[in-house]
Amino acid sequence: EAQVTQNPRYLITVTGKKLTVTCSQNMNHEYMSWYRQDPGLGLRQIYYSMNVEVTDKGDVPEGYKVSRKEKRNFPLILESPSPNQTSLYFCASSLFGPLNSPLHFGNGTRLTVT
């Protein structure tokens, strides 16, 4: 089944403890992206990747890192999480980017930073 898989689904952590949220897609998509969703703010793009080893900042990249060493994986790294990064995170992928092909979303990761 074609899908975008995020793990974990729920995560509670403490300020400053490094964490990684994984994202994997099995559709051979070139484009992958991370969003965070907060009440009243909709989905905001954190980082995106156009292909292996090619990444760029979205609208809210501060406090996050990403890597794209393989086409299928696009992990989101929080080196030193803070409470303002408590949010619902979505990974998404698209064959060639939203201009040409629809986005497929993962089921989300709800992160709480205390």
Binding site for other proteins (CB under 8 A): 4, 31, 35, 40-45, 50, 90, 94, 96-100, 102-103, 105-108
Q: Which residues of 89-98 are buried (b: 16+ CB within 10 A; e: fewer)?
A: bbbbbbeebe
Min separation Cβ 79 and other proteins, Å: 26
Q: How far apart are CA 3 and CA 105, in angstroms?
A: 8
Min separation Cβ 19 and other proteins, Å: 21
Nearer to other proteins, 56 or 79 (CB): 56
The Cα diameter of the chain in Å comes to 40
Nearer to other proteins, 44 or 71 (CB): 44
Nearer to other proteins, 14 or 41 (CB): 41
Q: How far apart are CA 78 and CA 13, in angstroms?
A: 11
Min separation Cβ 17 and other proteins, Å: 26
Q: How far apart are CA 20 and CA 8, in angstroms?
A: 9
